Amino acid sequence: MKSQQKIGTQVKEYMLKLMGFFAEVKGNKVELDVNMQIEIVFKSLTKKFSGFRVAYNLGNKALTLIQLMKELQSYELMLNGGKSVQKKPEVKSLIL
């Protein structure tokens, strides 16, 4: 699986996408334990979440993916001064 969070994508939206991938993998009879899934999440997030990852590792937390998603959302909100990240609308050009 090769996935990377795109800048401007809300962490919740991205986490839901990853959880869909994890469910698909499980459906193919491949087991990824929660720690491996969390490692995949951390490696694919944008660099703005590096501080969260350090705090997570130092705190030695054991979270489910849902709990991790909620904590990442709180961190994202804090980084954005309490404002939710808004996905930039795609601009489609019309060539005549």
Q: What is the mean pLDDT of each run of 10 residues along the chain (96 residues)?
A: 86 95 92 92 94 90 91 94 63 50
Residue that has been written with the tokens 């962490």 in this structure: 11
Examine residue 38 and state whether it is found in any structural domain, yes or no: yes
pTM for this predicted structure: 0.77
Domain total for the chain?
1
pLDDT computed for residue 87 by the predictor: 55
Examine residue 28 and state whether it is found in any structural domain, yes or no: yes
Question: Of 74, 67, 22, 70, nearest to 44 (Cα)?
Answer: 22
Examine residue 69 and state whether it is found in any structural domain, yes or no: yes
Instruction: Give me 28's structure tokens.
Output: 């193919």
Examine residue 17 and state whether it is found in any structural domain, yes or no: yes
pLDDT computed for residue 3 by the predictor: 83
- CB atoms closer than 10 angstroms to residue 5: 20
Residue 37 near residue 45, CB atoms below 8 Å: no
Q: Which domain holds residue 75?
A: 11-79
pLDDT computed for residue 82 by the predictor: 79
28 DSSP 8-state letter:
T
pLDDT computed for residue 96 by the predictor: 47
